[in-house]
Structure 1
Amino acid sequence: MTDASARLQALARELAAYVEHCKPRAILLTGSAATGAADLYSDLDLIVYHDELPPATAFGAARDAVGAVEAGVFAPPTNTEYPELYTWHGVQCQVAHQTIKAWEADLRTVLVDVDVESSLQKAISGLYEGIGLHGEDLIERWRDETRYPDELARAMVERHWRFLPIWHVQARLSTRDAALWSRQVLVESAFALLGVLAGLNRLWFTSFQFKRAREFVAQMTIAPSNLADRLEALVSLEIATAIAELEALVAETQALLVEHMPDFDASLRRGPGTREIPWKLAT
């Protein structure tokens, strides 16, 4: 654990003012402070769960009790969520208050409705990585009830197994001054690969504010070799070399799909190994 993480965890445990003034059912420390990877730029991220949201005066009383300054919100409040933001001991604190009913509805969106477009998988990941500071029994119940369903794994693969076949049209692009667009395709393809492999490995994934890629990839037991280095190469290598690396990664991931999800059609139109053939001038 980093020294910054230890400091943030100690600060988080001092926020008993929320229990006194807001009467929450549970409090969860999330983010890099919880995982032990925080640095001196990291925020203090808390999720506070309520039966019903308390009045704004209760949030203000809790902030006043600890001496918070520069208070505001980091998103528009609703009837079920109050996302407050303030500075405390020089640290930016993001405290997301949410009703239990709303949170459990969010869980159903992913687990039952199988919504793979939602960024809620990031919140579910935080549920597992976080540290319970209050109401640990409730947090543990959610963890026990939140298992990665096979339907979500399949939906993640189906959603992300699609690529613009840049290897197929590489010769054409080399004459089009398309460096920025090519790099964009490479980045989007990297996220698509991560989405597919997240499904295969039953890992919660969203591209929303995706950070700490190497830690994420390290959790995978089903993946192309040296995946983290090769994904990073897609944005650092010369474009032609990066495209060749992407083509190889797609081909290797395709083989993994055939092996580990054999009932899924992993074929690709203009897949790895195909090339566009230029037309010829009439003679």
Structure 2
Amino acid sequence: MGLKEKAIEMSEIYRQNPKVEAIILAGSVARKLEDEHSDIELHILWSMPPEDDDRKGPIHRIDGTILSYYPYEEEEWSETYLTKEGIKLEISNFLTETVEKVIFDVVNQYDISYEKQCIVSSVHDGVSLYGREKVNELKDRVVAYPENLAKRMISENLWLSNRWHNREALLKRKDWLMLYDVICEAQRNIFGVLFGLNRMYVHHPAFKWMPNNVDRMSIKPENLYERMANALIGKPEYSVQELEVLIQEVLQLVEHHAPELHIAEQQKRIQYAK
């Protein structure tokens, strides 16, 4: 049995609970990116807060093994468990009204929070397993990527962290752990800008599935994936130089594709190094 088929089978159990309003298959399986390491991600939308019996009942019904089980935090109840076949499921339980509010925050208020965008992305790319009418209603609200969200993603991510200014010092000191932390942070900023330019919701706070993300982009520097990868596995001196060049190319893309944005201050700050 494939992962999608198993997800459908589990959704048949969850949907028997009258509190469940919709079930969305998310993650790599929904996006058809699954491999031998993938698990099943389900978003369960509830009309009222689920009790322990609501959450544990489906697991006990299949004789599953609970790996983690968290109380309500950050507007979500979550748990992970294994089926008898060894398939892992990650369950995110939300009140339907919470998902609706998150969509409003991102689409109408242009909140660039990656945590919120991840939920919006799951709605956008997810597969309805139950409650099709409700899921389609949510999908209709996120289908058009807001222009103002793109502008905020671009502008905010061009403010590279203050630590980027220390790159030369870290390189000379051979302070590798902190340097690579700075390099990764700069790469995340680059992706943040490019996600905005390409009108793509952030689907994972660490920009998982990098090769696929780059393939989906129509606006990007040449050989982006290879250059980003080499910046992580090549010599540190090369990594810093390559990122400096990439950042300049991204700035040129912003000037060409979003000329209405005023990024002079960001450009000035990016040039600084000590």
What TM-score range do you get, normalising by the shorter chain?
A: 0.7 to 0.9
> Which is higher, the Rg of structure 1 or of structure 2?
1
Which of 2, 5, 12 is residue 10 of structure 1 equivalent to?
5
| Mapped pair 1:259 → 2:253 | no
| Mapped pair 1:240 → 2:229 | no
Distance 1:96 1:170 in 2: 39
SS of residue matched to 1:85: strand
| Mapped pair 1:149 → 2:146 | yes
- The count of aligned residue pairs is 269
Question: What does residue 32 of structure 2 align with?
Answer: 36
Distance 1:216 1:200 in 2: 13
- Which amino acid counterpart does residue 6 of structure 2 have in structure 1? L
- Which amino acid counterpart does residue 199 of structure 1 have in structure 2? G
Q: CA deviation at 1:231?
A: 1.0
Distance 1:168 1:53 in 2: 47
SS of residue matched to 1:76: strand
- Which amino acid counterpart does residue 256 of structure 1 have in structure 2? L
Question: What does residue 82 of structure 1 align with?
Answer: 77
Distance 2:63 2:170 in 1: 58
Q: CA deviation at 1:249?
A: 0.7
Distance 1:224 1:79 in 2: 36
Tell me if the contact between 1:21 and 1:59 (Cα under 8 Å) persists in the aligned partners: no
Q: CA deviation at 1:17?
A: 1.3
Structure 1 spans left out of the alignment, 5+ residues: 1-5, 277-283
What is the TM-score with the length of structure 1 in the denominator? 0.85
- Farther off after superposition, 130-139 or 83-92: 83-92
Q: CA deviation at 1:42?
A: 2.0
What is the TM-score with the length of structure 2 in the denominator? 0.87
Question: What does residue 63 of structure 1 align with?
Answer: 59
Tell me if the contact between 1:25 and 1:135 (Cα under 8 Å) persists in the aligned partners: yes
Tell me if the contact between 2:79 and 2:90 (Cα under 8 Å) persists in the aligned partners: yes
Tell me if the contact between 1:28 and 1:133 (Cα under 8 Å) persists in the aligned partners: yes
Q: CA deviation at 1:210?
A: 2.7
1:1-283 correspondence to structure 2 within 5 Å = 7-15=2-10, 16-70=12-66, 72-73=68-69, 75-77=70-72, 81-88=76-83, 89-146=85-142, 147-163=144-160, 172-205=169-202, 208-267=205-264, 268-269=267-268, 271=270
Q: Which has the higher helix share?
A: 2
Tell me if the contact between 2:40 and 2:90 (Cα under 8 Å) persists in the aligned partners: yes
* Per-residue CA distance 1:101-152 (angstroms, 9 max, x = gap): 1111111221223222341211211212221111112111111111211111
Tell me if the contact between 2:103 and 2:141 (Cα under 8 Å) persists in the aligned partners: no
Structure 2 CA distance for partners of 1:180 and 1:145, relative to 1, 3 Å: same
Structure 2 CA distance for partners of 1:174 and 1:8, relative to 1, 3 Å: closer
* Per-residue CA distance 1:216-265 (angstroms, 9 max, x = gap): 11111111111111111111111111112111111111111111111212
RMSD: 2.6
SS of residue matched to 1:128: helix
Distance 1:24 1:50 in 2: 5
SS of residue matched to 2:45: strand
Identity of aligned residues (%): 25
